[in-house]
Structure 1
Amino acid sequence: MPRFVFPQIIPEFLVFRQSLVETIFFASSGYLNWFVTAYIIMYILSPFLNILILRLSRKQFQMLLVIFLMLSLSLTVFHNPSVGTTGDDSVWLIIVYFFGAYVRLFKEDLENISSTVYLRIFFGCMMFLIFSTFGLFYIQSKFGLDAGNNLYKRLLSGFSPVQLIAAFCLFLVFIRAKPFVNRRINKIASTMFAVYLIHDNGLVSEWLWNRVILGSRFQNSWFVLMYAVVAAVIIFVICSLIDIIRQFLLSGVEKRVVEKIASFKVFKEVD
């Protein structure tokens, strides 16, 4: 091997090894993105969260959800980091987990309200987000407020109570929907998380977007929207095919691993 190759290979290997260690210990500069890291942490904590959830009375659970909403509102309005979540971390996923657990345990409390009402709340939240965004942007521009505060982005943040309520209502609408089964759709749906993992991680994302896609070339062109759609479809198809092949080759191994993990008593579901 030529000598000039080693100065390139060795630094790359050291960077890879460092990033791999950072990934294992959930460092922000590792290969996993925020959602995967936060989801793994939430999953590890879920058995202990379930113990708390199962011991809460209906009244206590409702009060806890109200407290979560108030904290979310406080963080959105006052942007106080002491509240403990940025909307893209395990703390926020745990809060969402509690909302889902309430639906699982006390579904009858929510069945008295029609899906139409939930849809109205959802679209009301969406309209509120749209108009408040433009309104706050106008106020910030008109009165020369500090642009660094990004007031118009507050309600669009990941920890926004408006987004949480909207997502909760939409979830309640879909769990009531008539079951629909289609093998092709289910097969494609089974690859969605893999599509996310494959194209949006530290190993691939920078190379993909900045060297292959390079959408900035068309940012001032009418072609940009068409290019974005075509690029997204191509990425989706390629990543889906990769995962379908993975499923075909490793489905047996994956099934045994999942069954082994599920057999642990500590990972029981919320009944």
Structure 2
Amino acid sequence: MKIFSDKTQIQNYIKQIKAKNLSIGFVPTMGALHEGHLSLVKEGFKKNDVVVVSIFVNPTQFDKKEDLHKYPRTLEADINLLDTISKDIIIYAPTVEDIYEGNTVAEHFSFDGLEFEMEGKFRIGHFDGVGTIVKRLLETVEPDNAYFGEKDFQQLMIIKKLVDKHKMSVNIVGCDIYRDPNGLAMSSRNVRLKEAYKQAAPFIYKTLISAKKKFGTESANKVTEWVEKQFETHKLLTLEYFNIADTKTLKSVKRKSKKKSYRAFIAVYADDIRLIDNIALN
């Protein structure tokens, strides 16, 4: 297993790979790896000769400093976990200095309005940080395919927009949400859940399943009102938002159309830990 922390060194190594006409898959992560990340790596190996995994907690996408400080950093455990998948994985674990070169500031991007919906309303500047790090990582690794989980569906759509706008020659692949047997979407934040909240959190996905059924016969507004009522009486979980949106524009649905596809998006606080999820509705 090759491990790099220096941008120039990994770029030189990737040149050697490309000289052999080998295809490269890329899985960018912020570490604290779990089975969800491993499922992306496995997808990468299905259609690529080589898979690169980046492990970097990106400071410019955190809107709250305390959230950045609390984010789990488990590099050694992450490396050991990846080793169970393949010894041929290339790991890029840069420092903040290596990525930002002394200027830890996000670039400003326009994603044609995608950045102002849902997460963008509650996490100001978040998607500028995401765009900055993803663009720099893609430019460094130069993969043929890059893999992202649909748990962060809005982020996935924004990255596709980023690649399109900057004419980057990489195929962005969205992968199914990886869930615990109880339905909870896998997230690095889950390890911080206290036991009571861990037991309560599957309620989020159960609510999404019910919302999907209701969306077949009821309006988006009716479904939204129903979801909000479910959380009003919940003792441990606090709803931040629930939104039914067009999958292409991410704008809230006003009137359903059979010609469009929709997803339901949700953000919930379990104590001080923010959990997000979504589900395809049609």
When Rg is computed on C-alpha atoms for both structures, the one with the higher figure is: 1
- How would you bin the TM-score normalised by the shorter chain? under 0.3
Specify which structure has the higher proportion of strand: 2
TM-score by length of 2: 0.27
